[in-house]
Amino acid sequence: MSTVTVGQAPAAPVTAPAPVTMAAALNQALADALAADDRVVVFGEDVGTLGGVFRVTDGLAARFGDQRVFDTPLAEAGIAGTAIGMAMAGLVPVIEMQFDAFAYPAFEQVTSHLAKLRNRTRGKLALPVVVRVPYGGGIGGVEHHSDSSEAYYTHTAGLRVVAPGTPGDAYRLLRQAITCPDPVIFLEPKRRYWSRETTGLALSGPPIDRAMLRRPGKDVTLIAYGAMVATALEAAEAATGEGWDVEVIDLRSLSPVDDQTLTESVRRTGRAVVVHEASGFAGYGAEIAARLTEECFFHLEAPVLRVTGLDIPYPPPHLEQYHLPSTDRILDAIARLAWE
């Protein structure tokens, strides 16, 4: 590497509004981060020559060279563990776990080391590592290719966990994750990789730990993240037919969670439904429901409800439609919210 850029990335590159997929937005974010800071390195299984099985790293090895974007042996603990060492050496690693369930071999490295080394060393060792994890179902994948593993990570102090819901935010959030001094688990909703949004790609917008109001409404707050943001927005649109004015919040950051935006909204609407693909039992939505109950109890018209995946191992492709939250299930939940 020739020069090393330390500190702030240059001013945000703003692309003109155009239809862009989430995969392309993530690719652009990686390219811009690699260009902005020579310490950034991207590695994992198949991310080099192939450009990743989802093509999120397409063309990066050719553009930035195999010292900065490279394939590794097929071993997830090895990828995460060496990323920790590279961060200790002053690099900013962005690593890819090929699929959610294939990230489990790296679990010890992530939870016992990546999450804790800053704490263990009283702040002496900072690990600005981004762990990209394509997660979730809805792509017709065979077993172990569709897990929603966010609760494993959100339960671990020291990790930040984020999940973008749209292409534009995928760009922003990944750039923010790469400049963040904390380790970030970056959950990419793989069923939305190819969905398009007409948007410019820009860094400006809410900081990494703030939620976004995706749709204002006054009757009920739908809380979603990742792939479920689009589903929640569809449900909100459909709900107008029933006379419900639905607000949709895109959490973006699962940990830490933006309590302020959530409580402000729910105190206003008095009703809330949390939506996620992951199983409900001891899932992420339970934490949100508990926090809202603690903070908004006297404003609530009805119990906080959850619309989640079933409490089952992720089903085979021909059965996943019965597992995944649908707009109908969200509308059913809204209907149960003690309307006059």
Partner 1 sequence: MTTVAHPTPVDSSGLLPSEAPLQLIDQDGRPGGNPGSLALPAPEMLLELHRRMVLGRQVDVQCTALTKQGRLAVYPSSRGQDACEVGAVLALRDQDWLFPTYRDTVAILTRGVPAEQALTLLRGDWHCGYDPYQYRVAPQCTPLATSALHAVGLAHGARLRGQDVVALTLLGDGATSEGDTHEALNFAAVWHAPAVFLVQNNGYAISVPLSKQTAAPTLAAKGIGYGIPSLLVDGNDAAAVYAAVRAAVQRAAAGGGPTLIEALTYRIEAHTNADDATRYRNADEVQAWLARDPIARLEAYLRARSLLSDVDVTAVADEAAQLAADVRERMNADVTVDPAELFEHVYARPTAALERQRAALLEELELEAEAGR
Task: Give the count of residues interacting with partner 1 (CB under 8 A).
Answer: 50
Catalytic one of 145, 155, 276, 318: 145
Q: Is the dihedral of CA 37, 85, 151, 301 positive or negative?
A: negative
Q: Which two tokens stand for residue 336?
A: 């149960």
Q: Which stretch binds partner 1 (CB under 8 A): 8-16, 153-161, 199-207, 235-243?
A: 153-161
- Among 3, 16, 122, 204, contact with partner 1 (rule: CB under 8 A): 122
Is the backbone of residue 184 left (phi > 0), alpha (psi -120 to 50) or beta?
Answer: beta
Q: How far apart are CA 56 and CA 51, in angstroms?
A: 6
Closest CA to 60 of 31, 83, 80: 31
To the nearest whole angstrom, how small is the minimum distance from the Cβ of residue 7 to partner 1? 14
Site residues (CB under 8 A) for partner 1, limited to 273-312: none
Q: How far apart are CA 259 and CA 63, in angstroms?
A: 41
At 72 the three-state DSSP class reads coil
- Tell me the CA distances in angstroms from 145 to 4, 141, 293, 298, one per residue in order: 37, 6, 34, 42
- Tell me the CA distances in angstroms from 163 to 105, 224, 247, 271, 300, one per residue in order: 21, 10, 19, 24, 27
Q: Which stretch binds partner 1 (CB under 8 A): 60-68, 130-138, 212-220, 265-273?
A: 60-68
| 197: enclosing H helix or E strand | strand 196-199
Q: Based on CB atoms, which residue is closest to partner 1, 141 or 285?
A: 285
Q: Is 155 a catalytic residue?
A: no
Q: Which stretch binds partner 1 (CB under 8 A): 20-28, 52-60, 102-110, 144-152?
A: 102-110
Q: Is 313 in the site for partner 1 (CB under 8 A)?
A: no
To the nearest whole angstrom, how small is the minimum distance from the Cβ of residue 125 to partner 1? 6
Closest CA to 6 of 91, 74, 78: 91
- Among 24, 29, 34, 117, contact with partner 1 (rule: CB under 8 A): 117
| Site string (167-206) toward partner 1, x via CB under 8 A | -------------xxx------------------------
Catalytic residue list = 145
Q: Under the rule (CB under 8 A), what is the footprint of partner 1?
A: 1, 4, 41, 49, 61, 66-67, 72-73, 75, 77-78, 80-91, 105, 108-109, 112-113, 117-126, 157-158, 160, 180-182, 209, 256-257, 259-260
